[in-house]
């Protein structure tokens, strides 16, 4: 396979991860936010008004995570409450990302999101405001993907698995996981079916990340 983008620590492949994953070697950590199968209608309130996004590819049918869980020694997968039937049962631990941080805000979106950690040992909560134009980080930056998450969230996840050298995100989107990995001095592989988002992720990485 020819990478869409590659530098000293990051590789991006453009294509269907179900076709690409079998050709890759097993990595240390799968860290991803896949389509949940909920038909999310994307739109967010920003400092510039309402921003509309395209629908998430593959989000119109039930998601099955079984094909990707064994591609890494460990896994942290967001939205697993929507596809819990396809992850190992009675294994791992659940995390909660509190997006409103109990400040009394009235929001139309979900106040929190859940992630499942295959080798997690206890429940954890990450409190980080991220609701439309109200953000604890990346304030003023427009989201480049309908379900984009903060870099700080992915850095928090990486800190929970300090020995993971190579990270894999088979549903890379705009490349937030890869940016976080680069910030933390890790290697990472991203796969994305949309060339549009591959280019957005590549551009974020081309801009350079200072350690």
Q: Does residue 188 fall inside a structural domain? A: yes
Give which of 151, 208, 198 is closest to 4, Cα–Cα. 198
Q: Does residue 165 fall inside a structural domain? A: yes
DSSP run (H or E) holding 96: strand 93-98
- Least reliable range by pLDDT among 66-75, 87-96, 136-145, 170-179: 136-145
Q: Does residue 113 fall inside a structural domain? A: yes
Measured between alpha carbons, how far apart are the two ends of the chain, in Å?
A: 30
Distance separating alpha carbons of residues 87 and 116, to the nearest angstrom: 9
Distance separating alpha carbons of residues 47 and 204, to the nearest angstrom: 21
**For 155-184, what is each residue's pLDDT tens digit?**
999 999 999 999 999 999 999 999 999 999
* CA 201 to each of CA 30, 39, 105, 172, 206: distance values in angstroms, whole numbers, following the listed order: 18, 23, 31, 8, 9
pLDDT recorded at residue 33: 95
Domain count, the chain: 1
Distance separating alpha carbons of residues 19 and 89, to the nearest angstrom: 26
Q: Does residue 178 fall inside a structural domain? A: yes
Q: Does residue 211 fall inside a structural domain? A: no
pLDDT recorded at residue 123: 96
Give the other-Cβ count within 10 Å of 126's Cβ. 19
What residue numbers bound the domain in which 96 lies? 5-206
pLDDT recorded at residue 208: 64
Give which of 11, 14, 37, 35 is closest to 25, Cα–Cα. 11
When pLDDT is averaged across residues 181-210 and rounded to a whole number, the result is 91
Helix axes 176-183, 151-159, angle to 10 degrees: 50
pLDDT recorded at residue 209: 54
Q: Does residue 134 fall inside a structural domain? A: yes
**For 36-86, what is each residue's pLDDT tens digit?**
754 545 554 444 444 554 555 544 567 999 999 999 999 999 999 999 999
**Residue 145 reports pLDDT greater than 90:** no
Q: Does residue 100 fall inside a structural domain? A: yes
CATH number at residue 92: 3.40.50.150
**Residue 203 reports pLDDT greater than 70:** yes
pLDDT band at 141 (very low <50, low <70, confident <90, very high): confident
Q: Does residue 106 fall inside a structural domain? A: yes
């Amino acid at each position: 396979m020819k990478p869409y983008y590659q530098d000293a620590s990051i590789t991006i492949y453009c294509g269907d991860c179900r076709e690409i994953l079998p050709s890759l070697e097993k990595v240390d950590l799968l860290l991803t936010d896949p389509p949940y199968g909920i038909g999310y209608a994307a739109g967010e309130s920003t400092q510039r008004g309402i921003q509309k996004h395209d629908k998430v590819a593959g989000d119109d049918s039930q998601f099955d995570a079984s094909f990707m869980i064994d591609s890494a020694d460990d896994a942290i997968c967001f939205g697993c409450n929507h596809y819990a039937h396809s992850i190992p049962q009675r294994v791992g631990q659940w995390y909660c990302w509190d997006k409103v941080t109990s400040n009394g805000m009235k929001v139309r979106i979900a106040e929190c999101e859940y992630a499942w950690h295959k080798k997690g040992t206890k429940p954890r909560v990450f409190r980080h405001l991220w609701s439309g134009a109200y953000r604890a980080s990346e304030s003023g930056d427009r989201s480049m993907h309908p379900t984009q998450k903060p870099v700080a969230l992915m850095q928090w996840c990486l800190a929970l698995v300090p020995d993971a050298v190579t990270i894999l995100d088979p549903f890379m989107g705009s490349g937030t996981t890869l940016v976080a990995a680069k910030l933390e001095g890790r290697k990472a592989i991203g796969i994305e079916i949309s060339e549009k988002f591959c280019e957005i992720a590549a551009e974020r990485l081309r801009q350079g990340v200072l350690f």
